[in-house]
Amino acid sequence: MENFEFVSPTHFVFGRDAEAQVGAKLADQGAAKVLLHYGGGSAERSGLLGRVRESLAAAGIKCVELGGVRPNPEITLVREGVALCKQHGIDWVLAVGGGSVVDSAKAIAVGARATCDVWQFFETKQQTNDVLPIAVVLTIPAAGSEASPNAVVSNDELGRKTGYGNDAQRPKLAFLNPELTFTLPPYQTAAGLTDMFCHLLERFFDDYGAVPVTDNLNLSLMKTIRAEAPRVLADPENYDARANIMWAGMLCHQGLAGVGRHEDWATHGLEHELSAFDTSITHGAGLAVMFPAWMEYVHGENPARFAFYGREVFGLVTSGDVEADALSAIDETRSFFASLGMPTTLAELGFDEARLEEAIADMLPTLAANKGNPFGSFKRLSMEDAAAIYRSAL
Amino acid sequence: MENFEFVSPTHFVFGRDAEAQVGAKLADQGAAKVLLHYGGGSAERSGLLGRVRESLAAAGIKCVELGGVRPNPEITLVREGVALCKQHGIDWVLAVGGGSVVDSAKAIAVGARATCDVWQFFETKQQTNDVLPIAVVLTIPAAGSEASPNAVVSNDELGRKTGYGNDAQRPKLAFLNPELTFTLPPYQTAAGLTDMFCHLLERFFDDYGAVPVTDNLNLSLMKTIRAEAPRVLADPENYDARANIMWAGMLCHQGLAGVGRHEDWATHGLEHELSAFDTSITHGAGLAVMFPAWMEYVHGENPARFAFYGREVFGLVTSGDVEADALSAIDETRSFFASLGMPTTLAELGFDEARLEEAIADMLPTLAANKGNPFGSFKRLSMEDAAAIYRSAL
């Protein structure tokens, strides 16, 4: 097991009506004036924002609002949020929404006390502890941003989409009410399930040997998602299935599933470029295509690891041929994503050969800038490898 | 899944030479004057305390010392620690040792800013947030106190041993170096393995239905301990086996393995009375005897839960007879503890019929006071049930 540091300070309030406690819990923590940050109209229409405002008002907490976060949150809105925080003396940032809203809130919290422009943190990865505390009312279980130290933000002007990691931007409070996820459309539910499953795969496959305590925990979450996914898709208002998925989504990305390992994250890099090139691609859908393609390309580095994964997660029986077992495990992965309604090829995401070559030419320079060259750990990948993986996914 | 709140704010520094970072990490957190709290001579003789003192001095942190914590830590020494904290303006309590030292440090941290006597918190369970921050250099993986919200302290004058739970006494920093556990004697290693395994059992068996995400995580830790235990006993200086066990020991008791469930804790209650009656009994050894006895007594409430446990942890094959499967799972549990060198009967712990009856007469009133009457959740137990379980364990 490699040396590591780990801290996950988020205080979770989990269950029915969790969001009704927002005001009281924030007041307990000394919050006086929050920036209420959200996306489009669904949180307003559902009444969720109204309940959150009521809860804040009842606790005597003042509130400045900034809506309009889009998928792949953009640095321009983040800068608006930073300015509001400075102007109004905001002491907490409260995100109501999914991963994009939480990521945008993190960036605002990092920028709020900085003297430089907030994009610098994304460019240079410089660390700071001077970050506003963040609270989250989660509406989409997927990204795991409600407890993770990471945020991904786009800069349209520069044509960049990049991540920033800092334990100081892990949320301090997270309200997780599974009932808020009952109305998620099937495609979004499935993309979320895929995203969280891939957060586990990125940690499980790397160039390090076994770390049983971490690996077993990781596999237990994969098994949970595999078993609960069909339940939640068949019966969207099944509270227990939604609850298991919501909590699993957090655990997949808060870090325990990877401690002591090297982790990989090549496929997230490949996918981020894809959904930056075509912003209509949902992150989870892009992952559903790219992960099996990555697996096929790299599995020869350690086919036994894939065979082990296949036995534990999909109940595959050892054939005696480890290469065949590894390929079966990859097939099962693709079938699992397909069973959720996810695409399996880039063609299904609107690419043909010509458009893909155009995309590859566009993506490789930013991929190298964002991930390094070579990148990944299970197998070190060059830009030629990356292009080959994209082409194999067509 | 039941509604719950969960917070585990501990910052872990895990790996070789972790303790060398004590001073720097405490200084990062603003510590200026710590109470260095420890047990007997082994931490001194091994050089560990010397290294910790050096690390503190190098970081410019002042230090007041209080050694002498015994197994089943006593309130008198806690009161001494509280007085030292008040006298010297201590701002952090640093525990170097195993669960007893950490529990004693927690009680000191709770008492240090209180106006009442610290024992009152153990009597009344009253909550407070005014607790000194606690750091831990762990030497014995077992109790999980390095991240848990609980402390158990004895009051010899009153003949009581009781617990106090408060999230505010979860340690803020924990240094986990598996190499420090290489020299643990086999019996102590085995008792620690048993204790951590039982922390999982207490959470897995209760009167609530399945919570797959929590249950699968719990079972993954049981499987890890079952697989790593023989490795660590056969090869005490196997770094990876020690590391897996040390991290698992924390995870078994920091709370994730039980969230959304009711949990039980009857057997810990039965054992605490036993090792309060005879302080020569190691907690883990008492648990190794009492847990299978409890299981046999209560399994009829939900034999399918035991059968599930047997399949998942011990790889038992379904016989078609759920009662038989449950009994097989219980047999496997007892055999597992025995394979570690733990006792399987109270006779092995020095009891005969007469001494046991004397003990039962002594234990039941404090059991009722500490746990309530009835107690437990998988099956609600009266004092008659408790006596029957003790007798069945002879």
Residue A40 has pLDDT above 90, yes or no: no
Query: Could you name the CATH architecture of B11-180?
Result: 3-Layer(aba) Sandwich (3.40)
Q: Specify the fold of A186-392.
A: Dehydroquinate synthase-like, alpha domain (1.20.1090)
Residue corresponding to tokens 């529990």: B103
Determine what percent of chain A is predicted with pLDDT higher than 90.
96
* Gap from B18 CA to chain A (nearest CA, Å): 9
Identity at A345, one-letter amino acid code: T
Give the model confidence (pLDDT) of B263-297 as tens digits.
Answer: 999 999 999 999 989 989 999 999 999 999 999 99
Tell me the chain A residues in contact with residue B177 when contact means C-beta distances shorter than 8 Å: none
List the one residue out of A97, A82, A78, A41 whose CA is nearest residue A153.
Answer: A78
| Residue A182 near chain B (CB below 8 Å) | no
CA distance B33 to B37: 13
pLDDT at site B160: 85
Query: What are the residue ranges in chain B where pLDDT is below 70?
Result: none
Nearest to A228 among B14, B212, B248 (CB): B212
Looking at domain B185-392, its CATH class is mainly alpha
pLDDT in tens, B203-252: 999 999 899 999 999 999 999 999 999 999 999 999 999 999 999 999 99
Give the H/E segment covering residue A35.
Answer: strand A33-38
Q: According to the model, what pLDDT value does residue B40 have?
A: 81
Mean pLDDT of chain A: 97
Straight-line distance from the first to the last Cα atom of chain A, in angstroms, rounded to the nearest whole number: 37
B47 CB-near residues (< 8 Å, 6+ apart): none
Contact partners, residue B336, CB within 8 Å, separation at least 6: B197, B226, B229, B314
- CATH 1.20.1090.10 domain range(s) in chain B: 185-392
Dist CA B165 CA B115 (whole Å)? 19
| Contacts for A102 with CB less than 8 Å, ≥ 6 apart | A95, A134, A136, A138, A143, A145, A146, A151, A171
Whether the Cβ atoms of residue B259 and residue A225 lie closer than 8 Å to each other: no
DSSP per residue over B41-62, as a string?
Answer: SHHHHTTHHHHHHHHHHHTT-E
Determine contact, residues B120/B155, Cβ cutoff 8 Å.
no
For an interface test with A, give the residue of B213, B228, B240, B256 to mutate (most A CBs within 10 A): B213
Residues A218, B220: Cα–Cα separation, whole Å: 9
ipTM of predicted assembly, 2 dp? 0.97
| Domain boundaries for CATH 3.40.50.1970 within chain B | 11-180
- Token readout for B383 is 């004092």
Show the tokens assigned to A139. 């509406």
Is A79 exposed, middle or buried, given 0-12, 13-18 or 19+ CB atoms closer than 10 A?
middle
Instruction: Classify B153 as helix, strand or coil.
Output: strand
Between positions 162 and 181 of A, the ones with CB within 8 A of B are 178
Instruction: Label residue A74 by pLDDT band (50, 70, 90).
Output: very high
Element holding A123 (H helix, E strand): helix A119-124
Give the A:B interface size as CB pairs under 8 Å.
115
Show Cβ contacts of residue B335 under 8 Å, excluding neighbours closer than 6 positions: none
**Does A220 contact B216 at a Cβ distance shorter than 8 Å?**
yes
CA distance B215 to B305: 11
The answer to whether A248 touches A200, Cβ cutoff 8 Å, is no
What confidence score (pLDDT) does residue B161 get?
85
A227 contact residues in B (CB cutoff 8 A): 212
pLDDT digits (tens, 9 = 90+) for B120-130: 999 999 999 99
Chain A segment 192-221 residues within 8 A of B by beta carbon are 211-214, 216-217, 219-221
Q: Which residue has tokens 């009891």?
A: B351
Residues 6+ apart with CB under 8 A from B207: B262, B301, B377, B378, B379
